A and B are shown apart, each in its own frame.
Chain A
Amino acid sequence: MDVTINVNGTDYIRDIEPRMLLVHFIREELGLRGTHWGCDTSNCGTCVVWVDDEPVKSCTMLAVMADGHRVKTVEGLEGPDGLDPIQQGFIECHGLQCGFCTPGMMMTGRWLIDKNPDISEEEIREGISGQICRCTGYKNIVEAIRWAAEHPKGSEVTA
């Protein structure tokens, strides 16, 4: 079945099987390996991407369901002026160790701050509660998202 899916601003036209999960479309059809795929049970959240501006577990959506929609992956975070503050935050606060959960955490983190620029630690913890990190104990992830909230896009970013 022919689909046109806009990923990170580019329209991709592909002929795919309707049973293909969105995560596999992104990784295998488009070769965008930034989005990870971890659990097969909709629990880990490393596969989170945005569909039309909202985070979604891409292992629990068929690619055909995204036909005609916009998808944003971790590769789409970086802008012409460099890293997105959410990416910078993970660097500043050592928000990752192995990095497996990181793409999903960043996509949800960016959404949380867009919705609520003054987000509290508790709200961040609730916001990422559908995503699992086996390494960090979450503390630095929460701090990284807080850091990004305090350094909005366009403000001076320390390199």
Chain B
Amino acid sequence: MQTPAPVDYARATSVDHALQLLEQHGEDARVIAGGHSLIPMMRLRIASPTTLIDLNDLDELKGIRVEGNEIVIGAMTRHAEVLDSAILAEHYPIFREAEKLIADPVVRNRGTVGGSMCQADPSEDLSAVGSALGGTVVIRSKSGSRTVPIREFHFGPYMTQVADGEILTEVRFPIRPGAGSAYEKVERRVGDWPVASAGVFVVVRDGVVSDCGIGLTAVGAEHFSAPGAEEFLVGKAPTEENLAQAAAIAADSCSPVSDQRGPADYKKHLAQELTLRALRRAVAASQGA
């Protein structure tokens, strides 16, 4: 039987209160969102925070809304809500496609967008979605809010820009009229973490790719992204040949490691094939839009 180490607990009633509690309880205090990464780590004693600050009552951090030409997702929005969101289904089907494959319906009732981003597991699916779409992350501390580009948010496995005394409050994505998007994942069994995943958006205008984003997870892509492949594709016709070339460049820029989920060369193969499949579908969606 695995039991977390002794820990104190405090429930925040507002973001300001949470920030105050973080300060009061010192650097070994941690916020807890869905707890579906943190509690497993506490059971294994990989994580032993001294105090947990519970964000689950913070309605101000929940929900998905359109603000100007951005979509804003609150940090405490659950996977289940992302999956069911009409706003996201309209603008970015990539979310629905990814969420359907993240864990299982019961886990999705608890796990949150903010928790996924902050956990920064090198196989996190939403990190690939975020990197594909670009956008920004809003981080708050007692001294105010700051905005960080999503591709600068993660700077290594389990490492993010969120410093002691800070909380991620929301993630913002630009709306791109006419964009198509798609997510492809290979997992060992239903509900498992990816062996590899690729997510993309593409805007095709006047027969050429005018904008695109490629995100990859579990394959050692820097910042979960493939900027070289994007550069190659923008300005070109979305022919099968060009898409295949972009996918090859994306896979080339990855450095997967062999582990229990599969050997490195297989993961590299998947990075290429899944990027290609996602590109094909996103191009078709953009052309149909």
B42: nearest chain-A partner, CB-CB:
A19
Contact partners of B105 in chain A: CB under 8 A = 55, 108, 126-127, 129-130
Return the contact of B54 from the options A21, A54, A65 (Cβ within 8 A).
A65
The stretch from B32-40, B152-160, B266-274 touching chain A is B32-40
Return the contact of A60 from the options B3, B7, B9, B39 (Cβ within 8 A).
B39
C-alpha gap A126/B32 in the complex (Å):
28
Check if B109 sits within 8 Å of A62, measured CB to CB: no
A48 CB-CB contact with B under 8 Å: yes
Per-position binary interface string of chain A over residues 1-14, scored 1 when its CB falls under 8 Å from any chain B CB and 0 otherwise: 10000000000000
Contact partners of A129 in chain B: CB under 8 A = 104-105, 190-191
Contact partners of A43 in chain B: CB under 8 A = 191
Give the residues from 26 to 63 in chain A that come closer than 8 angstroms, CB to CB, to chain B: 40-43, 45, 48, 54-57, 60-62
Chain B residues touching A, majority SS: loop
Check if B36 sits within 8 Å of A40, measured CB to CB: no
- Residue tally, chain B, CB below 8 Å to A: 29
Nearest Cβ distance between residue A46 and chain B, in whole angstroms? 11
Per-position binary interface string of chain A over residues 61-104, scored 1 when its CB falls under 8 Å from any chain B CB and 0 otherwise: 11011010000000000000000000000000000000000000
Check if A108 sits within 8 Å of B35, measured CB to CB: no
Nearest Cβ distance between residue A79 and chain B, in whole angstroms? 23
Check if B6 sits within 8 Å of A60, measured CB to CB: no
C-alpha gap A21/B42 in the complex (Å):
11
Contact partners of B6 in chain A: CB under 8 A = 17-19
C-alpha gap A18/B39 in the complex (Å):
12
Name 25 A/B residue pairs within 8 A (Cβ), A-sorted: A19-B42, A21-B4, A21-B39, A40-B1, A40-B2, A42-B40, A42-B107, A43-B191, A48-B106, A55-B105, A55-B106, A56-B109, A60-B35, A60-B40, A61-B35, A62-B9, A62-B39, A64-B54, A65-B35, A108-B106, A126-B105, A129-B104, A130-B106, A131-B104, A131-B106
Residues of A within 8 A of B (CB): 1, 17-19, 21, 40-43, 45, 48, 54-57, 60-62, 64-65, 67, 108, 126-127, 129-131
**Given contact pairs A18-B52, A55-B109, A64-B54, a sample of 13 additional A-B residue pairs in the complex whose CB atoms are under 8 Å apart:** A19-B3, A19-B6, A42-B39, A42-B40, A42-B107, A57-B36, A57-B110, A60-B110, A61-B39, A62-B35, A65-B54, A129-B190, A130-B103
